[in-house]
């Protein structure tokens, strides 16, 4: 786990589990935290999520199953923003929905062999 100088109680909550925790002395941003995560990972598959992300109980099973195909080099889940009526989540919902649609259209237009699997 990478702790990017978080000021909440996530370090105390996670330190109860048998995981390696790397603490950045100052906040250097999500992209740099992911780079640190990958640099120190000792396993074949690395999964990154934000600490405020809720994931489906089977998400790791879904992602890892993609690697049974030797031609697959990366896999990801689909981000779904809960619609709770706040202006922030409404904006996020629209942003991610448009980004998802744009990416699928672009891949189709470019004849990309990227595969997309949606599971519920």
**What is the per-residue pLDDT across 27-67, written as a single tens digit (0 to 9) for each?**
888 888 888 888 988 888 888 887 777 788 898 898 889 88
Cα 3 to Cα 5: distance, rounded to the nearest angstrom: 6
**The predicted structure's pLDDT at residue 120:** 40
Q: Which residues contact 22 (CB under 8 A, 6 or more apart)?
A: 1, 2, 3, 36, 37, 40
Beta strands in the chain (DSSP E): 2-3, 22-23
**What is the per-residue pLDDT across 65-78, written as a single tens digit (0 to 9) for each?**
988 988 888 887 77
Segments in 27-86 forming alpha helices (H): 30-40, 59-65
CB 99 within 8 A of CB 76: no
């Amino acid at each position: 786990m990478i702790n990017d100088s978080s000021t909440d109680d996530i370090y105390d909550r996670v330190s109860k589990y048998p995981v390696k925790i790397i603490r950045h002395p100052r906040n250097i941003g999500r992209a740099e935290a992911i780079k640190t995560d990958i640099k120190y990972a000792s396993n074949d598959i690395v999964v990154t999520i934000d600490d405020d992300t809720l994931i489906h109980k089977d998400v790791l099973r879904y992602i890892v199953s993609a690697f049974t195909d030797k031609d697959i080099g990366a896999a990801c889940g689909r981000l779904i923003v809960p619609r709770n009526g706040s202006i922030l989540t409404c904006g996020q919902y629209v942003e991610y929905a448009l980004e998802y649609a744009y990416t699928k259209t672009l891949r189709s237009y470019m004849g990309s062999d990227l595969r997309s699997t949606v599971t519920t």
